[in-house]
Structure 1
Amino acid sequence: MKKLVVVAATAGLGMTGLGLAGATSASAATDTSDAFRPASLSWHACSADIVAGAKAYDGLGPVQVSKIIQCAELQVPLDYAHPNGQKITLELTRTPHQGTGAAKGDILVNPGGPGGEGALFGPRVYAQNSAAMQKAYNVIGFDPRGIGFSTPKLTCDENYSNAPRPEYGTGGKADDAAWLKKSKAYAQACYQKFGRGSKLDLLDHIKTIDSVRDMNTIRKALGHKKLDYYGASYGTYLGQVYATVFPKRVGRMVLDGNVGPKHVWYEAQLDQDYAFDKNIEYYFGWIAKYDNVYHLGNTQAKVHKFFYGLQASLAKKAATFTDSSGAVSAVGPDELVDGIQTAGYRRSQAVWNSYAAALAAYKTNNVEKFVGTFGVQTTGGSDDNEFAVYNAVQCTDTQWPLSWNKWHADAVKVNKTAPFETWGNVWFNAPCLYWNAKAGTPVKVGQTKDLPKNILMFQATEDAATPYAGALELHKTLKGSHLVVQDGDRTHCIVHRGDLRPGGVDSYFDAYFLNGTLPKQDTVHVSQLGDPTPPASTAKATSAKSEVVK
C-alpha cells in the first residue's frame, strides 16, 4: 500500500509466525505478551532534534508545543515470546495538558505508514486540538520499532531513491528488468543489515502485531488500565488489531482514514490504483477550471494530455537544477508522479495550487520552480527509514504473491483504466517479492467475544489512500462502532482538517474524547467544506509570467 502516511503520505498508502498464543484470534486473556512488565517512564527534556521538529507545529495553535514537549525512552522486548531476551528502545513524547489539576487522560497517537514517525505526530495532534482538548488531555506520540528516534533505526540503502530513477514504465521487459533488479538489491541490503544472522534480527520482529504489543506495553508504562487512542491511516490498522487482541484494554478509540481489514496488503494497493487515478483526474479538472491562472488547458482532457505528455518528455530527458550550494536535483517521470500524487491525498489550497503552479512553471521554462517543487537529489543519498519500515512491516504482515507473472498480469489489467500510479505502486512494493523474513498471518479483526462497542471512525468518501469501501467493511466488522462520513471529500484522514462547524467533523471528535459522547446514529454524514480556489497572488504572478512569454 503505497505511502500510507497521513502527514504526507506519502504520497503514498500503502502480519505461521506471529509468535504468541495464536494471534489470529488472540484476546487480552490469551496473548501472553500482556504479562510483560515495563519500567515506568521517566519524562525529561527532549533532544534538540525533537524540539526542532516540534517547532514546525508551533503555529498551528496558541500553545508553543516545542516549549512544553517532554520525552521518554521505553525498552520493549525484540521478541515478546522471549520477554527477558534482547530489548529495543522506543522514543516517546508527551505534550502535556494546559488545564489545572490532573489530566483527563493520555491519548496515544499514531500517524500511519507503516513508517510514519510518531514521536513528532504527538505535538502536531496537540497543536491542532481545540483549546478544550488541550486543557484536558496529554498527547503521547511514539516512534514505532525501527522508526525515527527509536533504536535501532532501520535503513537499508540511502541511495535507493536518488533521481532520476528507472522509468516506471507500463510493463515492458526493459523497465521490468531494471526495477526487479533494483528491488531485489534493496531487499538483500535490508536482510544483510537486519535479517537473521545479523547482530539484531529486526526484520522478523517488525510486524503490525509487534507494534500492537508495544502499544500495550506503552499503556502499562503510562500506568493505565485502558488505552485511549487516535490512529490515522495505517494507524487505524494498528487500532483495529489492538481492539481485537486486547479488547478489554480499549478506552476511547478514534480511527481516521480507515484500512479495510480484508485486503491486507497486496489487494489494498490495487484498490488504491483505481482510487488515486480518479482523484488525480478530478484534480486535472480543477486545474482546468482555473485555466486563466495556470494556462494548462481549459478542460480536464486537455490537462490530462498535458500531464502525460510532460511525463513522456521527462522520460526522454529529466529536468535538472543546480542550486547555489552545488546540489543537483532532478525530475524524471517517476518523480513527477510521486510528487503530484500528494494532490490526490487531500483537498488543500496549498498543495493543489503549488503543484499546478509548478506545472505551469515548466510550461514557461521556469525550471528552478518546477524542479524546486518536484525534484529529488541526484547524489548524496537520503534517509530511507520510512521506505525501509514500510517494506519490513507490509512484506511480513502476510505473505505477498511470489509469482511475478501474477503481479504483472494484475498491473496490466489495472493500468488499462487507471494508469496514473499503477506501475509506480508495483515498484514501490516490489521488494516484497524478494523479502527475506518470515511472513505471518494477519489477525482476524473483530474476531473476539469482548470487542469494544465504542470505537468512533472517520472517513471521506473519496479517500484514495484508504478507499471508502474498506471503511464500510471495517465498520461492519467492528460491531457497535460509529462512523462519521464526510461526503464528497477527497481528503485522506479528515480530523483536524479545519472542519470546526457545529456538527462538523471536529465537533464529533471533541464530544467523544471530552464527554464520551458518540453520534446518535450508527452512521452520520457531514458535507465537505468545498474545493479550494487559487490564491489571488498566484493568479497575478502567473498572468504576468504568461504575458512576458507571449
Structure 2
Amino acid sequence: MSVRRLLGGALAFLVAGAVVVPATTTAASGATPAPDRTSAIEARRVDSVPKPAITWFDCSVVTPRAACGTVKLPLDYDQPKGATTEVALLRVKVADPSKRLGTLFVNPGGPGGSGVILAASAREFLSPALLARFDIVGVDPRGINFSDNVRCFKDLGAQAKALGPILETPFPTTAAGRNAYVASAMAFGRGCSSSGQALGASMSTAEVARDMDVLRRTFGDAKLNYLGFSYGTYLGQTYANMFPDRVRAVAIDGVLDPIAWAGTEGATIQPQTQRIKSGEGAHNALLKVLDVCKAKGPDYCMLAQLGDPRQTYAEVISKIKANPIVFTDEDTGEVVFTIDYAFMVSILLSDLYNPDGPMFVDWDLTGFAQMLEDPMARKASTRATALSMQARLAAAKDSDKATKAQLAKAGARAGWAFPYDNSPEAFQSVLCTDSRNPSSARLWPYFTASAERTAPGFGPLWSWASAPCASSTWTVTDEDSYRGPFTKRTANPVLVVGNYWDPATNYAGAVKASTLLPNSRLVSSDSWGHTAYGTSACVTNAVDSYLIGVKVPAAGAKCVGDVQPFTEKIDQEPFPEEQLRSGASARSLPPVVAPVPGAVPRR
C-alpha cells in the first residue's frame, strides 16, 4: 500500500487473541441492513449449472487426507451447456467430520498462483483450529497450472523468442532495451489474442468467482468461506460483490484496490500496474527501512556504519547506474554475472517480501556499497555472490518444485502433466482480461518515466508488467468480466487485512476496499513483508476467529509484527539465527505468490 504515516494508538487486541464483535452487531437504529442480492443474471448463470461430477484420485502422498480432482465447468457461463474447461482442485478433509463447519476455499495470489499447491501446504501455515473445522480446498483457476492450460505460442521455442526481452530483465533501462521490451509486449498481446484466445477470453476473475460459486454449492455449503492473499484478495472482493448474499466469511490479506485493478472508463490514462501503486508501496517501505536503520545506529545496522543510510542508498543508485557491478571469472576473464540498476531493484524487492526484509536490505545494500567502492571486495566475493543472487531469484520457482512433482506424478493418469510452461501466459491472461489499459505498448516508456519519479526503480518494475495488456495488441476480451461496483453489502462482514509496509499490495488498497465495502472490518498490521497472516499471533488469531465464528475484531484494530528490524546488535553474531524467524509461530508463512513475475515471495 502506498505507505503513509498512518494511525497511531494502542493495540485493539493483544497477542493472546483479538477483541471480537459478533457479526450480527446491529446499527444504532436497531435494524440490521439487509444484504444486497445476487443479480438475477448472475444467479441464472451459476444456478443453471448442475452440480458437476468431480473425478477424484488419491494424492495423500503430499499431505494427509488429501484428494485431488478434476471438474468440467462452463467455458462461458452464458452458455452453460456449451464448451467446457477442466479445472483442477485439491481438498484436505478434516480429521473429525463431526467438527466440520464447512469448506474453506484458499487462493495464493499471482494472478497465476496455484490453489492446489496452496491447499497442499495447508498443514504448514494454517492453524490447527482451522484445519479441525474446515475442509481446505484449493482450486487452480481456469487456464493455470494443473487446470487446462492457456497457451499463446505453439511451443516453448516460440514463447522464448517472443518473450525473451520480458523474461530476461526486471525492467528495461536503456533506449534499446525499452524498444525490445515494447516489441516483446506487442508480440505477447498478439499471441494471446490469437493462439490463446479461446481460453484466455474466459480467464477473468469474474469467471473464477463463478467457478467458485458452483463448487461451493457442489460441496454442500450454503454460503462461501474464503481466505485469499495478494491477487486472491481481488478474487474475494469480486465474489463478495457478485454474490453478496452468499458470503459466510471472506478474509482478504494483502489487498488490491479493486477500482484501480479493474480500471474505470477514464482510468486508461495509466497502466493497471501503475494505478495500484505497488511501486510507491515498495519505495516507501525501503525508505522506512533506511530511516529505522539510521535511528537504530551502527551497532544494529551495518549500513549506518557507512554514513547516512538514505545518502548511501542514493550513492549506490548513482554509481550502479553509471557502472554496473560486473563479476568475471578469474581464470578466463569471462563475465559471470552482472548487477545493474534493474537487477539491484529486483533484489531489494525480493528482500522486502520477507518479514525479515529490513535485515536483508541492510546486508545487500552494504554489500553493493562495498563492492562499488572496493574492487578487491568484488573480486573476493565474485563466485559466492553470483551463486547467492542466482539462487535467491530461483527460490520462488524452486520452493514448490517437490510438491508439484509429487502432484504431477499422482495425477498423471488424470492428465496432470503439462510440459509447456505457461506461467507467463497464466499471469498475463488474468491481468489483461480483468483490466482496462492504454492503447499501445509504445506508451509505456512515458508512463514508466513518470513511475521512476514517484517511486524510483520500483515504479518502473511494476508499471512495465502490464505492457502486454495494451488494448490495440491484447484484443481478446471477456464480455462478462466484472468491473464493479465494489460497494455491495454482504450477508456477513468481510475481513480486510492490510500491512503498512507491504511492498506489493499497497496498504492504501486495504483502506480503499474496507471503505468501499459497507459491511467490512479493517485490521491494520505494522509488519514487514507481503501479507500479514502468520507474522503475528495478533493477525493470525483475528483471521482464525473470524473464519470460525464469523466474528470481527473491534473497529480500529491494529497489530504489530513479531519481527521488527534491527533489534539485535550486529557484533553478537554475523547472522543471529533468531533474527531469521518468520514470526512467533512454529508454522511457516503462507506461500503467497508474487504479483510481479520474477519477484521472490517469502517462505
The reply on whether 1:513 has 2:552 as its aligned counterpart is no
Number of the residue aligned with 1:80: 77
- SS of 2:76's equivalent in the other structure is coil
What displacement does 1:473 show? 2.0
The one-letter code sitting in structure 1 at the alignment partner of 2:483 is: V
Which structure ranks higher in relative contact order (CA pairs < 8 Å, sequence separation ≥ 6)? 2
Instruction: Provide the rounded CA distance (Å) in 2 between the counterparts of 1:213 and 1:538.
Output: 55
Checking the alignment, whether the CA contact within 8 Å between 2:244 and 2:491 is kept in structure 1 is: yes
Number of the residue aligned with 2:534: 496
Q: How does 1:358-373 map to 2 (within 5 A)?
A: 358=364, 360=366, 363=371, 364-365=377-378, 366-373=381-388
What displacement does 1:371 show? 2.5
The one-letter code sitting in structure 1 at the alignment partner of 2:91 is: R
Alignment coverage as a number of residue pairs: 481
Number of the residue aligned with 1:525: 558
Number of the residue aligned with 1:198: none
What displacement does 1:177 show? 1.5
Instruction: Provide the rounded CA distance (Å) in 2 between the counterparts of 1:454 and 1:164.
Output: 41
Specify whether residues 439 and 74 from structure 1 end up closer, same or farther in structure 2 by C-alpha distance, changes over 3 A only: closer
Aligned equivalent of 1:256, options 243, 253, 256? 253
- SS of 2:98's equivalent in the other structure is coil
Unaligned runs of 5+ in 2: 2-35, 154-158, 263-270, 331-335, 372-376, 395-418, 577-603
Number of the residue aligned with 1:300: 309
What displacement does 1:355 show? 5.5
Instruction: Provide the rounded CA distance (Å) in 1 between the counterparts of 2:210 and 2:545.
Output: 29
The one-letter code sitting in structure 2 at the alignment partner of 1:458 is: V
- SS of 1:82's equivalent in the other structure is coil
**CA deviation map 1:475-504 (0-9, x unaligned):** 122112111112x3343321122x11xxx1
- SS of 1:119's equivalent in the other structure is helix
Number of the residue aligned with 2:514: 475
What displacement does 1:509 show? 1.4
Q: What is the root-mean-square deviation in Å for CA atoms of aligned residues?
A: 3.6
Number of the residue aligned with 2:483: 443
The one-letter code sitting in structure 1 at the alignment partner of 2:314 is: K
What displacement does 1:211 show? 0.9
**CA deviation map 1:83-127 (0-9, x unaligned):** 222222111111222346352211001111111111111133442
The reply on whether 1:399 has 2:436 as its aligned counterpart is yes
Mean CA deviation greater in 284-293 or 365-374: 284-293
What displacement does 1:455 show? 1.3
- SS of 1:518's equivalent in the other structure is strand
Instruction: Provide the rounded CA distance (Å) in 2 between the counterparts of 1:310 and 1:384.
Output: 37
- SS of 1:461's equivalent in the other structure is strand
The one-letter code sitting in structure 2 at the alignment partner of 1:418 is: A
Specify whether residues 352 and 45 from structure 1 end up closer, same or farther in structure 2 by C-alpha distance, changes over 3 A only: farther
Number of the residue aligned with 1:466: 505
Number of the residue aligned with 1:181: 183
The one-letter code sitting in structure 1 at the alignment partner of 2:309 is: Q
Specify whether residues 458 and 302 from structure 1 end up closer, same or farther in structure 2 by C-alpha distance, changes over 3 A only: same
Mean CA deviation greater in 33-42 or 111-120: 33-42
Checking the alignment, whether the CA contact within 8 Å between 2:170 and 2:343 is kept in structure 1 is: no
The one-letter code sitting in structure 1 at the alignment partner of 2:434 is: D
The one-letter code sitting in structure 1 at the alignment partner of 2:494 is: I
Specify whether residues 334 and 525 from structure 1 end up closer, same or farther in structure 2 by C-alpha distance, changes over 3 A only: same
Instruction: Provide the rounded CA distance (Å) in 2 between the counterparts of 1:483 and 1:454.
Output: 10
Checking the alignment, whether the CA contact within 8 Å between 2:87 and 2:140 is kept in structure 1 is: yes
**CA deviation map 1:366-397 (0-9, x unaligned):** 133322343368xxxx9863432221112122
Checking the alignment, whether the CA contact within 8 Å between 1:398 and 1:439 is kept in structure 2 is: no
The one-letter code sitting in structure 2 at the alignment partner of 1:457 is: V
The one-letter code sitting in structure 2 at the alignment partner of 1:27 is: T
Specify whether residues 478 and 184 from structure 1 end up closer, same or farther in structure 2 by C-alpha distance, changes over 3 A only: same
Checking the alignment, whether the CA contact within 8 Å between 2:282 and 2:352 is kept in structure 1 is: yes
Unaligned runs of 5+ in 1: 2-24, 52-65, 196-200, 323-327, 544-550
Checking the alignment, whether the CA contact within 8 Å between 1:353 and 1:534 is kept in structure 2 is: no
Specify whether residues 319 and 222 from structure 1 end up closer, same or farther in structure 2 by C-alpha distance, changes over 3 A only: farther
Instruction: Provide the rounded CA distance (Å) in 1 between the counterparts of 2:505 and 2:220.
Output: 33
Q: How does 1:252-401 map to 2 (within 5 A)?
A: 252-265=249-262, 266-267=271-272, 269-270=274-275, 271-285=277-291, 294=302, 297-309=306-318, 311-312=320-321, 315=324, 319=327, 331-346=339-354, 348-349=355-356, 351-354=357-360, 356-358=362-364, 360=366, 363=371, 364-365=377-378, 366-375=381-390, 385-401=422-438
- SS of 2:429's equivalent in the other structure is helix
Checking the alignment, whether the CA contact within 8 Å between 1:183 and 1:427 is kept in structure 2 is: no
**CA deviation map 1:267-310 (0-9, x unaligned):** 55242222211112233445665756746834222441354146
Checking the alignment, whether the CA contact within 8 Å between 2:281 and 2:504 is kept in structure 1 is: yes
Instruction: Provide the rounded CA distance (Å) in 1 between the counterparts of 2:554 and 2:463.
Output: 42
The reply on whether 1:41 has 2:78 as its aligned counterpart is no
**CA deviation map 1:318-357 (0-9, x unaligned):** 54789xxxxx8765443332232123334x22x4445644
Instruction: Provide the rounded CA distance (Å) in 1 between the counterparts of 2:522 and 2:463.
Output: 31
Mean CA deviation greater in 125-134 or 114-123: 125-134
Instruction: Provide the rounded CA distance (Å) in 2 between the counterparts of 1:388 and 1:290.
Output: 46
The one-letter code sitting in structure 1 at the alignment partner of 2:284 is: K
Specify whether residues 191 and 331 from structure 1 end up closer, same or farther in structure 2 by C-alpha distance, changes over 3 A only: farther
- SS of 2:553's equivalent in the other structure is coil
The one-letter code sitting in structure 2 at the alignment partner of 1:338 is: S
- SS of 1:231's equivalent in the other structure is strand
The one-letter code sitting in structure 2 at the alignment partner of 1:472 is: V
Instruction: Provide the rounded CA distance (Å) in 2 between the counterparts of 1:147 and 1:524.
Output: 36
Specify whether residues 72 and 233 from structure 1 end up closer, same or farther in structure 2 by C-alpha distance, changes over 3 A only: same
Instruction: Provide the rounded CA distance (Å) in 2 between the counterparts of 1:182 and 1:393.
Output: 18
What displacement does 1:221 show? 2.3
Q: How does 1:79-118 map to 2 (within 5 A)?
A: 79-99=76-96, 101-118=98-115
Aligned equivalent of 2:38, options 11, 19, 27? 27
Instruction: Provide the rounded CA distance (Å) in 1 between the counterparts of 2:160 and 2:568.
Output: 37
Mean CA deviation greater in 365-374 or 426-435: 365-374
Checking the alignment, whether the CA contact within 8 Å between 2:115 and 2:139 is kept in structure 1 is: yes
Specify whether residues 355 and 277 from structure 1 end up closer, same or farther in structure 2 by C-alpha distance, changes over 3 A only: closer
Mean CA deviation greater in 124-133 or 283-292: 283-292
Number of the residue aligned with 2:240: 243
The alignment's TM-score, normalised by the length of structure 1, stands at 0.77
The one-letter code sitting in structure 1 at the alignment partner of 2:308 is: T
Specify whether residues 75 and 131 from structure 1 end up closer, same or farther in structure 2 by C-alpha distance, changes over 3 A only: same
What displacement does 1:206 show? 0.8
**CA deviation map 1:174-222 (0-9, x unaligned):** 3431221121222333344312xxxxx1121111111111111221221
Instruction: Provide the rounded CA distance (Å) in 1 between the counterparts of 2:238 and 2:120.
Output: 25
Checking the alignment, whether the CA contact within 8 Å between 2:233 and 2:254 is kept in structure 1 is: yes
